[in-house]
Chains A and B, each alone.
Chain A
Amino acid sequence: MRYLIRRLVLFVAALLGLSLLVFVTLRILPGDVASVMAGTNATPARVAALRSQMGLDRSYPQQYADWLSGLMHGNMGVSAISGRSVSSQVGSHAAITMPLIVLSLIVALGVGVPLGCQAVLAANSRVRGVLHILAIVGGAVPALWGGLLLIMLFGRGVGLVGILPSQGFPDAGWRNPVAALASLILPAIATGLVAGGAIMRYTRACLISMEDSDAVAMAMACGMSRRQAMLGVGLRLSAAQLVSVAGLTFAQMVTGVMVVESLFNLPGLGAMLIGDVGNRDLVAVQSELFLLAAFFLLLGVLVDMLHHALDPRLGEQSEERG
């Protein structure tokens, strides 16, 4: 319990620090939304008029205070350019990015863990070698290239076996779940395979470190085969570490899928952030970054807690050290 409270206090403090960091770094960027809105034909008078209309002539501390008090009330602000509330903007883009990440993670784990186990357990040393090379190559292939290859193979209208849509998100969105899911399959495979390579290597390394552990030896002494002991005991003991890796992979993917999103023309979080930074829509960007960072932090807390649940040995230790 104390651990949980401590973790939450840290979480809130981190959020506050984060908000300040985000606010300040964005103010260092040259250019502002008023001159972007006014464009190349604008007279200085018009830019000034827009600035005051949008409240950009307020002092920085005041802008920060206004933003923070909005955040406290759960008000993320309104994009100066699109006129939409930031929360709805983030929501509509996250509805593409988050399912894509989850799908990618399923692909990554579905490929990485079994093959990682095989890379240690396969009877044939050649098979092990090939799998190890596969893990390294898989992790090294850029998702962009893999995505292009997938489009050339399976993209509807362009691919050799053109069965899957490769461009954009269906108009109806998730109201048409089959089409929505279909549009995410290829990008999920593209990012999933790359992350799968990394997960495969982690799984392999974890299992190898378990190979000589007392726990596995004990299990075998109790009558398990090596394979059983490795999968039943070794993998179970590695689970905590693998969950951490999966959590990190998830966090990485939030930015990692951006390239693939742009290749498949999916309007996800990446496109939103790049667009808003480009337009210097700072109120929107700072809230979006804040939400993303809060999400990362939350993910960190969750992974930690899961880690604890999976590895009871950590519970007492970290409570001591805190």
Chain B
Amino acid sequence: MAKSNGAYGTSDATEPDTTTQPPHATEDTRANTGANADTNASTDASLNAHAKQRKKRHDGHRPIIWVVAALVIVALVACIAIVNSHSRKTATPTQSDSIAIGIKLAPVSLDIRNQSGSALEQLLIGNVYEALVSRNSNNEVEPGLAKSWTISNDGLTYTFKLNEHMNFSNGDTLDATDVAWSINQLKSKHYYNSDQVENLKQANAPDATTVKLTLSQPDANMLWYLSGRPGLVFDKDAHYDAKTTAVGSGPYLVKSFDSSSKLVLQANPKYWGSAHKARTNTVTVRFLPDDNAALNALTSGDVQVLSPVNANMTGKLKSSGKYTVKANDGSDKFVLAFNCTGAKTSDKRIRQAIRYAINHKEIIASRGGVDAALGGPIPSVDPGYEDLTGLYPYDPAKAKSLMQQAGYSTSHPLKLTLTYATSIYGSELGEQLRSQLSRIGIDLSINSVEFSTWLQDVHTNGDYDLSLVDHAESHDFYKWTQPDYYYHYDNPQVQALYAKALAATDDEDSASYLKQAARIVSEDAPADWLFAYRVSVAQAKGVTGFPSRLTQSVLPLWKVTYTPAQA
């Protein structure tokens, strides 16, 4: 290669090559065509005739190629058919030992002590990890690892009696020391949601089956919070990578986890209890963020349950007769927050005008008509709920006059920006709000951001006019009592009522204080609650035991079974 330093000019250098190449190539072709090579020794005059002749011969060879191609395709199809029929044979008419469930949002890791996201709670609590107390699908507290408890009259000491002979999936014993250790770790390491149990001072284990919690002040929500992340019990002696695996005490253990495709749960052979023993050996949870792909997965039988399914796509499922589709109540609140200390939205008249101008019925209808109207900060599944939709009914005329008082009209509109993650909540919501608000003299521009950007700009820095997000958590009213939360809502009356609700030792008293507080919040219009998202769940015939409420936050899978229809 390196022979010709300057011996040839560059333009000359190519020439010898081009002239020498064709004969080479011709030889190759001759060799390839083999027997036909001799017919090529021809003159210019007969070239044309030859060409036609050879074309015909060439055509004569073609069917062989096509036959081979057809054979290959047939063989492929046959292979696939065999694989298919093989996989079908394994499906017995009796109860299947596995079931697949499709959900939308994947947890990015299994680190339930650090990582945010409701998918983690939904999948792991009650299935892989267990809490001191558990929560049923009516959002009520039930016995969990503790079989009973007593609360002192001053509400400051909680004494839990644990079940006996409990153990983790690795065989380690689970007793009161693990419980106390887990709760004290939560406090000292500030794990996720540790701020929910701020009033919890300390956990002690006087004996192997007794746990004593000491509170700094009474907290009516304490038990409920202990049924969630703050109450989870971990093995203090186990060393494992909590991001990729899990060692818990629940009826299932994590067989494999890949946040981009699925979580495979397998029945825990060492499960300590009998009440919640897994009825199906393998539960695969597939993560299907794309609605179309999710629907395909259900109809092609890759998953037997889809939660959630897009409410606008359920028509065919229902009419096919092979699936049942049901919407269920949950704690998801689509909150359109108005920055209460923002330059323009600090004016209460403007906030009220926006609430009057929003046509909730229209929004809900466009989403498939299954979501529920919500007029205040407390969802229907939480204590203190009351229907507050009457406070700000759809009234564009009133909205317009409020805007006029504030100095704006359609000819002199107020410019506002709505910041939200369109990739999660869709761009349609923003467009609907823009068109509804344009009628009362608000020129709404949509700032479409990624969720992580929303977290930074809106949630952390509080820099926004309007924001839209799904606050999925239950019992999260306390955010309206924290002026530094991104709502920037500061009302001492609400804070006082909430403190009373927490201090109340009677559930009904507590709920009535919450009710009063929620009403005041809604009247002050620091936000509009667009709707309470109701999750539509589609399941194939033959699936039983799938929870019917609160599936976004509590998803006990131990009683789920699937019996395929006989084919």
Residues of A within 8 A of B (CB): 1-2, 29-32, 35-47, 49-50, 81-84, 92-93, 123, 148, 151, 155-158, 162-169, 171, 178-179, 182, 214-215, 218-228, 231-233, 236-237, 262-265, 267, 271-272, 275, 277-280, 312-313, 315-317, 319-321
What CA separation (Å) do A228 and B18 show in the bound complex? 18
20 residue pairs from A and B, CB less than 8 Å apart:
A31-B450, A35-B452, A35-B459, A36-B452, A37-B116, A81-B109, A83-B111, A155-B296, A155-B300, A158-B296, A158-B300, A165-B302, A166-B300, A171-B264, A219-B26, A224-B29, A232-B29, A236-B28, A275-B259, A317-B13
Which chain A residues border B284 with CB–CB below 8 Å?
Answer: 171
Which chain B residues border A164 with CB–CB below 8 Å?
Answer: 80
Given contacts A31-B456, A225-B55, A267-B261, contact A219 B115 (CB under 8 A): no
Contact call B260/A93, Cβ cutoff below 8 A: yes
What CA separation (Å) do A215 and B17 show in the bound complex? 11
Interface flag for B417 (CB, 8 Å): no
Residues of B within 8 A of A (CB): 1-2, 4, 6, 8, 10, 13-14, 17-19, 21-23, 25-26, 28-29, 32-33, 40-42, 44, 47, 50-51, 54-55, 58, 77, 79-81, 83-84, 108-109, 111, 114-117, 190, 192-195, 241-244, 258-262, 264, 284, 286, 288-290, 292-293, 296-297, 299-302, 423, 449-457, 459-460, 469, 471, 473, 476, 479, 484
Which chain B residues border A221 with CB–CB below 8 Å?
Answer: 44
Contact call B25/A219, Cβ cutoff below 8 A: yes
Which chain A residues border B2 with CB–CB below 8 Å?
Answer: 1-2, 319
Contact call A222/B23, Cβ cutoff below 8 A: yes
What CA separation (Å) do A93 and B261 show in the bound complex? 11
Which chain B residues border A156 with CB–CB below 8 Å?
Answer: 84, 300-301
Given contacts A46-B192, A148-B292, 4 further A-B contacts (CB under 8 A): A155-B296, A157-B296, A313-B18, A316-B13
What CA separation (Å) do A221 and B84 show in the bound complex? 56
**Of A165, A167, A218, A267, which contacts B260 at CB under 8 A?**
A267
Which chain B residues border A272 with CB–CB below 8 Å?
Answer: 260
Contact call A316/B8, Cβ cutoff below 8 A: yes
Which residue in chain B gives the minimum CB-CB distance to A281? B108
**Of A93, A157, A263, which contacts B299 at CB under 8 A?**
A157
Which residue in chain B gives the minimum CB-CB distance to A264? B293
Contact call B10/A320, Cβ cutoff below 8 A: yes
What CA separation (Å) do A242 and B244 show in the bound complex? 45
Contact call B108/A275, Cβ cutoff below 8 A: yes
What CA separation (Å) do A160 and B300 show in the bound complex? 12
Contact call A265/B297, Cβ cutoff below 8 A: yes
Contact call A227/B58, Cβ cutoff below 8 A: yes
Which chain B residues border A275 with CB–CB below 8 Å?
Answer: 108, 259-260
CB distance from B552 to the nearest CB of A (A): 14
Contact call B22/A215, Cβ cutoff below 8 A: yes
What CA separation (Å) do A45 and B109 show in the bound complex? 22
Contact call B456/A32, Cβ cutoff below 8 A: yes
What CA separation (Å) do A182 and B77 show in the bound complex? 10
Which chain B residues border A167 with CB–CB below 8 Å?
Answer: 293, 296-297, 300, 302
Contact call B290/A228, Cβ cutoff below 8 A: no
Contact call A37/B114, Cβ cutoff below 8 A: yes
Contact call A228/B17, Cβ cutoff below 8 A: no
CB distance from A215 to the nearest CB of B (A): 5
Contact call A39/B26, Cβ cutoff below 8 A: no
Contact call B4/A41, Cβ cutoff below 8 A: no
What CA separation (Å) do A303 and B8 show in the bound complex? 26
Which chain A residues border B290 with CB–CB below 8 Å?
Answer: 262-263, 265
What CA separation (Å) do A227 and B52 show in the bound complex? 10
Contact call B116/A47, Cβ cutoff below 8 A: no
Contact call A39/B84, Cβ cutoff below 8 A: no
Contact call A41/B473, Cβ cutoff below 8 A: yes
Contact call B259/A36, Cβ cutoff below 8 A: no
Contact call A225/B54, Cβ cutoff below 8 A: yes
Which chain A residues border B288 with CB–CB below 8 Å?
Answer: 265
Which residue in chain A gives the minimum CB-CB distance to B259? A82
What CA separation (Å) do A39 and B470 show in the bound complex? 12
Which chain A residues border B18 with CB–CB below 8 Å?
Answer: 214-215, 313
CB distance from B193 to the nearest CB of A (A): 7
What CA separation (Å) do A219 and B21 show in the bound complex? 10
Closest 8 CB pairs of A and B: A39-B116, A157-B300, A83-B243, A267-B260, A225-B51, A31-B452, A232-B29, A31-B456
CB distance from A93 to the nearest CB of B (A): 7
Which chain B residues border A46 with CB–CB below 8 Å?
Answer: 190, 192, 194-195
What CA separation (Å) do A30 and B19 show in the bound complex? 60
Contact call B455/A163, Cβ cutoff below 8 A: no
Which chain A residues border B469 with CB–CB below 8 Å?
Answer: 40
What CA separation (Å) do A277 and B459 show in the bound complex? 19
**Of B40, B292, B476, which contacts A224 at CB under 8 A?**
B40
Contact call A265/B471, Cβ cutoff below 8 A: no
Which chain A residues border B484 with CB–CB below 8 Å?
Answer: 44
Which residue in chain A gives the minimum CB-CB distance to B8? A316
What CA separation (Å) do A238 and B117 show in the bound complex? 55
CB distance from B229 to the nearest CB of A (A): 10
What CA separation (Å) do A275 and B117 show in the bound complex? 14
Contact call A313/B14, Cβ cutoff below 8 A: yes
Contact call B451/A278, Cβ cutoff below 8 A: yes
Contact call A50/B452, Cβ cutoff below 8 A: no
Kindly name the residue among B297, B299, B450 whose own CB sees the greatest number of chain A CB atoms within 10 A.
B450
What CA separation (Å) do A151 and B292 show in the bound complex? 11
Which residue in chain B gives the minimum CB-CB distance to A268? B260
Contact call B476/A36, Cβ cutoff below 8 A: no
Which residue in chain A gives the minimum CB-CB distance to B455? A35
Given contacts A39-B117, A319-B2, contact A44 B460 (CB under 8 A): yes
**Of A1, A83, A265, A320, which contacts B109 at CB under 8 A?**
A83
Given contacts A227-B55, A320-B10, contact A178 B83 (CB under 8 A): yes
CB distance from A140 to the nearest CB of B (A): 22
CB distance from A90 to the nearest CB of B (A): 12
Which residue in chain A gives the minimum CB-CB distance to B459? A40
What CA separation (Å) do A179 and B302 show in the bound complex? 14
Which chain B residues border A83 with CB–CB below 8 Å?
Answer: 109, 111, 241-244
What CA separation (Å) do A83 and B244 show in the bound complex? 7
Which chain B residues border A169 with CB–CB below 8 Å?
Answer: 261
What CA separation (Å) do A221 and B47 show in the bound complex? 9
Contact call B260/A271, Cβ cutoff below 8 A: yes
Which chain B residues border A37 with CB–CB below 8 Å?
Answer: 114-116
Which chain A residues border B47 with CB–CB below 8 Å?
Answer: 220, 223, 225
Contact call A30/B114, Cβ cutoff below 8 A: no
**Of B289, B457, B476, which contacts A30 at CB under 8 A?**
B457
Which chain A residues border B40 with CB–CB below 8 Å?
Answer: 223-224
Contact call B456/A168, Cβ cutoff below 8 A: no
What CA separation (Å) do A279 and B455 show in the bound complex? 11
CB distance from B105 to the nearest CB of A (A): 11
What CA separation (Å) do A267 and B287 show in the bound complex? 10
Contact call B455/A157, Cβ cutoff below 8 A: no
Kindly name the residue among A151, A167, A233, A263 whose own CB sees the greatest number of chain B CB atoms within 10 A.
A167
Contact call A226/B22, Cβ cutoff below 8 A: no
What CA separation (Å) do A227 and B515 show in the bound complex? 86
Contact call A215/B111, Cβ cutoff below 8 A: no
**Of B14, B25, B259, B286, which contacts A233 at CB under 8 A?**
B25
Given contacts A42-B116, A236-B25, A316-B4, contact A163 B297 (CB under 8 A): no
Which chain A residues border B81 with CB–CB below 8 Å?
Answer: 163
Which chain B residues border A312 with CB–CB below 8 Å?
Answer: 17
Which residue in chain A gives the minimum CB-CB distance to B39? A223
Given contacts A36-B452, A224-B26, contact A182 B80 (CB under 8 A): yes
What CA separation (Å) do A59 and B260 show in the bound complex? 31
CB distance from B421 to the nearest CB of A (A): 9
Which residue in chain A gives the minimum CB-CB distance to B261? A267
**Of B21, B28, B195, B476, which contacts A43 at CB under 8 A?**
B195
Contact call A81/B452, Cβ cutoff below 8 A: no
Contact call A315/B1, Cβ cutoff below 8 A: yes
Contact call A82/B109, Cβ cutoff below 8 A: yes
What CA separation (Å) do A165 and B45 show in the bound complex? 57
CB distance from A196 to the nearest CB of B (A): 16
